[in-house]
Structure 1
């Protein structure tokens, strides 16, 4: 972007000096007060302009760093001193996140967003049910199942079963809905993968499976791969429904479209999708087993250090179904997720980097940004710190990632696991597998803090870059 040309184009569209009352910049925007309204759509088409917000002053979003160079050139054209208009960390983070999203919004990210849209509505239930399962399991172990026959304890424990036992149904419904199909059809497909003894496919005669599937020559096994199979079938059912509706006469649509969709769908599910889901699920567990058990602390370092770059481009959404898979009580890890605590260290590396920047920088504007975002960062909400501070500066983002790796090492050494998802930072304490893991989690997080702080303090603070973006 040529700052001089961008400033001139904006100046001309706004009507020149005669129409401009004042000009100022904030962290991301050129703010211009005009006498008569300008052509906003033309402004949006100017090279370098990310967005235009119409308010008391016209706010032309240019992004951090760029706004200062364009502002200086604009001030020369107007002959007016360039003022500075402060704005809070949330505004800066939102603008930077929006600009970053526009930069990394390809078909892969859009597809992963759809997958995330399937699982995110389920998170409140998964979090609550996971906490219930973890707490009641801890009580059972400590009391030798003394409460297992007490009605109120059984009722509370049933909450966890109701969520995880029928999770395939919820996933199937959301998948069908997200991809434009009828939710209940996806739910019916998902129910095929629920291990219910009354399911005709699971019929037993003299304690032996009576129903044998073609091609495999084996009985139907709904558990392994069932969650991914229900996800795939929800998507397929949505596609099938649209295709079937095109060939079924309108007057028969209500009856035959869902019927044909389900009949075709169940054969696809049993012959293709369920075996495929089993293979993929086994592959995921093998990869995670290799990273965690074979690579050990090196795997912990790589996973923790590599997570923030995934977040910055939106690819972290692909991990949501994997976390859900790991928290299934009937899965290979028995509901304990050893991956999530490692990834949670990424936020700790950022917090350490933020503290280092605050200590070392002389820029009051940057200090304000860090101070406003560090508290929520400690609690596990890292977007303000990442999008307003570390990512725009570049080097601190890298040192934060590398520092987070030390927290990942400690997480593997301490064998920290979670029973749910949806929390991070210090709030991650609430989803650990037991209370005994609390001190180890805190030590691991402190390791990420220290790693991020030390690397950023000595290698990540670039005063020239800070001055370019935030000023002196």
Structure 2
């Protein structure tokens, strides 16, 4: 059994000690560290720590450990630093400030090189993605429930009809209804949870953010919230003269509500007397943001949500196979620099049952098969390596099973990215898988499950199309890499 505590201690020591860590958190595969002084990080030492698959050195340091393991290591890091994933430690240390000042100039060139990954857009996307990342386990679980229910339709279908229809006796059984409800609740009340995360990310009270998120959940018991696509329901608002449609703003309206109420709350706390703070601050925060929500945030969320679906329509339908190829081919480069997180909120928006595609996300499967391209590329490398490069062959054999299951970091940081050419050929091959996904009109109903198991969360009837796209990406990347991705000199240099 691995000593996760020892690994965590080595990580903390290699990044400059616990006093240098301001934030520590984890996602599905990576440990994220926000550091006070990045010049104190010994990146080479970090890469040599047992279990480290790779690093992404940007605005924050991301250390790739893989799923499961990263959670255990993250818990040990939190125990050492005393900082939970929800906290931030402010560093006040005169010696540290002097060190930063003295070493900053020495690191100026390095910082300039990294700046292309640390611009305002990247920082904004990081915060935006952080709002959605904690929801991924729930989204994955709910999606798998729907996948299981779709499989049940095949085994308990009504006989004698062409369409796949579940046997009414099963559909009305208590256990089926329990599973169906468990999967449905996540998407029905997701705006509340997203509102809480948004407020927390921007240093506000999560409960207030959740209350703003609830403003965008339809509820027949609340007159203002009863309209969900029904023109006859709801209360007419002044100025527009139209009913407030709680669901029209989508998940984005909940995000904006959480962010705005966090800023309003912090502004009020800055001048409200301490004796009145507990009463006035939440009261005024709710009143101010509630009116902003119905007149500004909901319409803004609705416009942006429609724009996202319109852009997706252009990329996936108007551009057809060209757009699908480009999206699949660009996914691996985005993952390599950590920018793939920008898609997380988009996937969540597209999985909203009240959205234009009724909860079916036609973008995610196209991006998922990029990992298959990488699998095909390393299989080609394995075929070329034979017995002449035993170390490379061993690295591939150790990482391919994880890659097939959608965990691509070991292959990316351990094989394809260091070699260069195979990373490019993997991306080029992945594009052909994206074309097949587009042709079969495969969409996903959730996130969090990828690799060959991604067929479990696709829309009804899309499983075969997903597997065809996945295999196509493997075969295309294999062929391109076998003939154009091998560099004997580079392989010998890195793997002997």
Which TM-score tier does this pair reach, normalised by the shorter chain?
A: 0.7 to 0.9
Residue 358 of structure 1 corresponds to which residue in structure 2?
382
Residue 307 of structure 1 corresponds to which residue in structure 2?
331
Instruction: Tell me which stretches of 4 or more aligned residues in structure 1 moved more than 6 Å.
Output: none
Residue 451 of structure 2 corresponds to which residue in structure 1?
425
Residue 399 of structure 1 corresponds to which residue in structure 2?
425
Residue 143 of structure 2 corresponds to which residue in structure 1?
130
- CA–CA distance in structure 2, aligned partners of residues 358 and 338 of structure 1: 33
Q: Deviations over 1:10-32 (max 9, x none)?
A: xxxxxxxxxxxxxxxxxxxxxxx
- CA–CA distance in structure 1, aligned partners of residues 426 and 60 of structure 2: 21
User: 1:447-458 residue pairs with structure 2 within 5 A?
Assistant: 447-458=472-483
Do residues 226 (structure 1) and 219 (structure 2) align?
A: no
On the 8 A contact 2:203/2:262 being kept in 1, the answer is yes
- CA–CA distance in structure 2, aligned partners of residues 221 and 411 of structure 1: 34
- CA–CA distance in structure 2, aligned partners of residues 439 and 209 of structure 1: 41
Q: CA deviation at 1:189?
A: 0.3
Q: Deviations over 1:250-290 (max 9, x none)?
A: 00111110000011111111111111110100011011111
- CA–CA distance in structure 1, aligned partners of residues 119 and 168 of structure 2: 51
Q: Deviations over 1:134-177 (max 9, x none)?
A: 54466485226444443333232221231111111010011111
On the 8 A contact 2:143/2:445 being kept in 1, the answer is yes
Partner SS state of residue 491, structure 2 = helix
- CA–CA distance in structure 2, aligned partners of residues 90 and 456 of structure 1: 27
Q: Give the counterpart of 2:436 among 394, 407, 410.
A: 410
Q: Give the counterpart of 2:213 among 182, 190, 196.
A: 190
User: 1:240-279 residue pairs with structure 2 within 5 A?
Assistant: 240-279=264-303
Residue 120 of structure 1 corresponds to which residue in structure 2?
133
Structure 1 231/353 Cα, relative in aligned 2: closer, same or farther at 3 Å?
same
Q: Give the counterpart of 1:155 among 168, 172, 178.
A: 178
Residue 380 of structure 1 corresponds to which residue in structure 2?
406
- CA–CA distance in structure 1, aligned partners of residues 141 and 46 of structure 2: 42
On the 8 A contact 2:250/2:349 being kept in 1, the answer is no
**219-228 or 186-195, larger mean C-alpha shift:** 219-228
Partner SS state of residue 252, structure 2 = helix
The number of residues matched between the two structures is 393
- CA–CA distance in structure 2, aligned partners of residues 100 and 404 of structure 1: 28
> Greater RCO between the two (CA within 8 Å, min separation 6)?
1
The gaps in structure 2 that reach 5 residues or longer are 1-15, 18-38, 62-113, 158-163
- CA–CA distance in structure 2, aligned partners of residues 387 and 99 of structure 1: 16
- CA–CA distance in structure 1, aligned partners of residues 136 and 272 of structure 2: 37
Residue 168 of structure 1 corresponds to which residue in structure 2?
191
Q: Give the counterpart of 1:324 among 345, 348, 365.
A: 348
- CA–CA distance in structure 2, aligned partners of residues 236 and 110 of structure 1: 18
Structure having the higher Rg: 1
- CA–CA distance in structure 2, aligned partners of residues 201 and 62 of structure 1: 54
Residue 484 of structure 2 corresponds to which residue in structure 1?
459
Structure 1 210/391 Cα, relative in aligned 2: closer, same or farther at 3 Å?
closer
Structure 1 133/390 Cα, relative in aligned 2: closer, same or farther at 3 Å?
same
On the 8 A contact 1:89/1:372 being kept in 2, the answer is no
On the 8 A contact 2:234/2:245 being kept in 1, the answer is no
- CA–CA distance in structure 2, aligned partners of residues 168 and 315 of structure 1: 24
Q: CA deviation at 1:131?
A: 2.8
- CA–CA distance in structure 2, aligned partners of residues 468 and 149 of structure 1: 63
Q: Deviations over 1:329-370 (max 9, x none)?
A: 222212221111111110011011111112223433222222
- CA–CA distance in structure 2, aligned partners of residues 449 and 414 of structure 1: 17
